[in-house]
Amino acid sequence: MEFELIMQSDLGRSNFTDRQGASELKARIEEYWRKRGFEVQVVLVEAPFSAAIRSARYDVRSELVDGLPRQRRQA
């Protein structure tokens, strides 16, 4: 399977730990795999306040295994 690296100018400036950024990342992951014939489950999980980063955050979790989908979507 061949993978392509998607370079987007705003990728390095986005904050993927807040709700808006995590939602954007979720949509990007789902769209990436949908275009390749896979249906993946991606969810946002609100994490508690962290003193280390001085804010609350959202985690993006998926069913991907080592970054790959488990199976192709059913036709």
Q: 32: closest CA among 68, 70, 75?
A: 68
> For 10-42, what is each residue's pLDDT tens digit?
555 678 888 898 999 999 999 999 999 999 999
Amino acid of residue 70: R
H or E stretch including 34?
Answer: helix 19-34
Question: How would residue 43 be classed by pLDDT, with cut points 50, 70 and 90?
Answer: very high
Distance CA(65)–CA(69), nearest Å, equals 6
